[in-house]
Amino acid sequence: MTGRLLAVLALLSALCSCAHHAAKHVARRPDTLQPMMRRQVMNAVDAGEGDLETRRLRARVASDPADLKSRLELARRYDDLGYPELAVEHCRVAAERFPSAPAVQELLARTLRAMGLPKEAAASLDGYLASARPLSPALYSWLGILRDDLKDFRSAEQAHRKAVEMNPRSDVFHNNLGNNLLLQNRAAEAAVEFREALRLSPRSDVARNNLGVAIASQPGEAILVWESAGDPASAHNNLAVVLMEQEKYQEARKELEIALGYRRDHPAALNNLRLVAQADGAPVTVPAHNQNPGFWKRFGHSLRLALLGEAEPPKSGAAESASR
């Protein structure tokens, strides 16, 4: 249920243009050299040779094959440029050269997952974690995420709990365990983990949003949690999304009308209202502007924020890469 509500890592793709200039000169070469030149041009494109940062990292790796930091940076660079296969190969070479480096295993798992290969990524981590090498709670957390992807939730729960056991002060690990429990429809247990994540990191928007989802069966409390991180319109829109996923369209429509009462031009609420209309067949009705909540509703919102000890919505913090 929560997969569509949470945010995900995005990879940028870019291609350099200098290789195209080289291609223009190929036709002027003797015929015997054309195939070789074409292959060199293609190799340059394939490897990102025209990218100065990539060339710099390749030179550092070539001059010192034992430079683990540069090799990992090169793998990340290939991934950013849209060459995940090359990134994986460099990760595998690094894993062979540095079998006791958890950072290599984490990057390999993340890259394989980004390629849509969670099964292969989980198998790689399983093999590493089964060895006597130094273990890392982050790797157990990633193994849990990968098993969640594979819908092996019980096995994933064991991995998430191992990560929490190794580092109980990580809000990210508690959040990921909570997400796993939520996927198993164990909302009350999930809420406990999300609350612990918020206790450890009060400004974690990810954990706060997840807590709202976990306690959505108690709408008043869920709204209170979401309002503490944003505004009333977004809070009621969030509750509407949960209700839509449960196919409770009439209740979702009411929440969206409340959200639009607070902010008539709320883009997400307007879009969700159209989706509800498509689902239940009823027309789209946007509340008139003069139906905005009055003084007492605004006063109530301010009072609830005051009771939470927050004078204004918290600023977003940087979430760790393994958090969902």
The answer to whether the CB of 272 falls within 8 A of the CB of 241 is yes
Tally of CB atoms within 10 A around 9: 11
50-124: CATH topology is 1.25.40
Tally of CB atoms within 10 A around 163: 26
pTM of the model: 0.65
Rounded to the nearest 5°, which phi and psi values hold at 86?
-65, -40
Domain ranges of the chain: 50-124, 136-215, 235-314
- List Cβ neighbours of 261 (8 Å cut-off, separation of 6 or more): 287, 291, 292, 293
The one-digit pLDDT tens for each residue of the chain (324 residues) are 444 443 332 222 322 333 333 333 333 333 443 444 344 333 434 444 556 777 777 777 676 776 667 767 777 777 777 777 777 777 777 777 777 778 888 888 888 888 888 999 999 899 888 886 667 899 999 999 999 999 999 999 999 999 999 999 999 999 999 999 999 999 999 999 999 999 999 999 999 999 999 999 999 999 999 988 778 999 999 999 999 999 999 999 999 999 999 998 999 999 999 999 998 888 777 766 544 454 445 445 544 554 444 444 333 333 344 567
Domain 136-215: CATH architecture, name and number where available: Alpha Horseshoe (1.25)
The answer to whether the CB of 241 falls within 8 A of the CB of 255 is no
**The one-letter amino acid at 76:** R
| Residue 68 DSSP one-character state | H
Separation between Cα atoms, residue 140 and residue 135, nearest integer Å? 8
50-124 and 136-215: identical CATH topology: yes
**The one-letter amino acid at 244:** M
